[in-house]
Structure 1
């Protein structure tokens, strides 16, 4: 069945890859972001390939009114929203907490935390009014509670979103709205490459481990999208980099050498 989908933060990274995959599968997709040029480019790209309807809308997820306008625009163009994916996020992951600038702290908290909270409130209210729908929050490093160097602030936002999403699952239980979370793993995105460029020595020292842990967005998106579309239960938890997948990589002789993922990006 064709679905109407909204993906926030879909002009870059895993959001863009998921939007492409949803469109390729024939679903109608509302792509969104703050960069007008990037948004226009993505809409033109998708409209030039076979798939569902594509709608582009500028949004600042940290502004609740802007998020409400995103919902209204999606409903105005598509009629309903069957699936809403809160993906917009900002990551600064190479500095200690005390060295992270106030601007970086504010950006991560406003985009990651407020953006997901505002998006969730808007989507749940709208879906309740229309009789149902599915919401997924995309989490990330730190959402599992593990402490990682340089990720104190970023990890705190994602850990908080894990708790927020679990609370929302309980609140919508028994309604026509379903809430879930997605842990996409460690992905090489524009943001990841920016952070890597700021810490070249760290990347060089950890190259073997990184080649085991990281993945390309275009390889991960199809599975994540397939599992979101197939989900029928409230509280769904979708993870790419599972313990089993990690174990297979570590136990596979020469995995990092045979899968030099960083080479694609000149690292």
Structure 2
């Protein structure tokens, strides 16, 4: 029986890498993003290359209307979704004191509220069927070390904690929920946020394909949290156990900031 996966933020970066990998594995796909033309072109490419069925769902998940469109698809009992990848997210290149309520609310709606809503929309059917998988894309930024003036790291701390909590609550139903926590990954993410990453050492970067490979491997091993690549596993250990002032200093240096 063919499985179906729904991927948000599907046209670029980690979301696109998930879509390609799952298409190779034979999943039919529901691709979610804001740009309808880009979605249609990407879906046609995946269908042509891999012979899977793709559906495009244009939605801005920072809005209630966008979430409702995707929730409606997840609730279709005659066309169940077997895997949800909550990948869509944003960061702000603005210190909190210079930020706006509108900008911060958009970040929280997309990074936190949409993840909660789509997880809640998908879980009842998965629990009833006693199968299903949800991957919530978080970040190593969410592990215990606040980034000065950043609400992005706080939003990702929520995603990781939320995913772990929900994973435990549905484990007996054979449904898997996992937080995927990559480090710096070569995508459009930083460019869209206007963040200059030119001073970031090359060895710190991951590719979206590496993140997806490690994430799916860890999901299928039953992990609640996946941190791709050994260097970021070491980094997370340090964030949890080293003095916070030392970790913050090292983090600033790694990002190339004064």
- Give the structure-1-normalised TM-score: 0.77
| 1:57-206 pair list within 5 angstroms | 57-62=57-62, 63=64, 64-72=67-75, 76=78, 79-92=79-92, 94-149=93-148, 152-195=150-193, 198=194, 200=196, 203-204=197-198, 206=199
Asked if structure 2 preserves the Cα contact closer than 8 Å seen for 1:181 and 1:236, the reply is yes
Q: Deviations over 1:190-230 (max 9, x none)?
A: 121234xx454xx45x343xx122222234333333443x3
Distance 1:192 1:142 in 2: 14
Q: Which residue of 1 aligns with 2:243?
A: none
Moved more, 43-52 or 59-68: 59-68
Deviations 1:242-267 (A, max 9, x none): 347768xxxxxxxxxxxxxxxxxxxx
Query: What whole-Å deviation, never above 9, does each CA across 1:129-160 have from its counterpart, x for those lacking one?
Result: 3332111211014221222345x111111111
Aligned counterpart, 2:256: none
CA contact (8 A) 2:74 2:80 kept: no
> Which stretches in structure 2 are left out of the alignment for 5+ residues?
236-258
Structure 1 unaligned regions, length at least 5: 248-267
**SS of structure 2 residue aligned to 1:11:** coil
Supply the distance in 2 between the matched residues of 1:100 and 1:161 (Cα, whole angstroms). 22
Q: Which moved more, 1:52-61 or 1:179-188?
A: 52-61
Matches within 5 A, 1:243-254: 243=231
Query: Conserved in 2, the CA contact under 8 Å of 1:57 and 1:70?
Result: no
**Alignment check: 8 A CA contact 2:131 2:175 kept:** yes
Q: Deviations over 1:51-101 (max 9, x none)?
A: 43222222343434223223146x55xx32221111111122x33211223
Conserved 8 A contact 1:67-1:118: no
What's the offset of the Cα at 1:40?
A: 1.1
Q: Is the 8 A contact 2:167 2:224 kept in 1?
A: no
RMSD of the alignment, in Å? 2.5
Per-residue deviation, residues 16-54 of structure 1 (Å, max 9, x unmatched): 111011102222221111221221121122122124322
C-alpha spacing 1:236/1:164, structure 2 compared with 1 (3 Å): closer
Match of 1:240 in 2: 228
Give TM-score scaled by structure 2 length: 0.79
Structure 2 residue 49 is matched with structure 1 residue 46: no
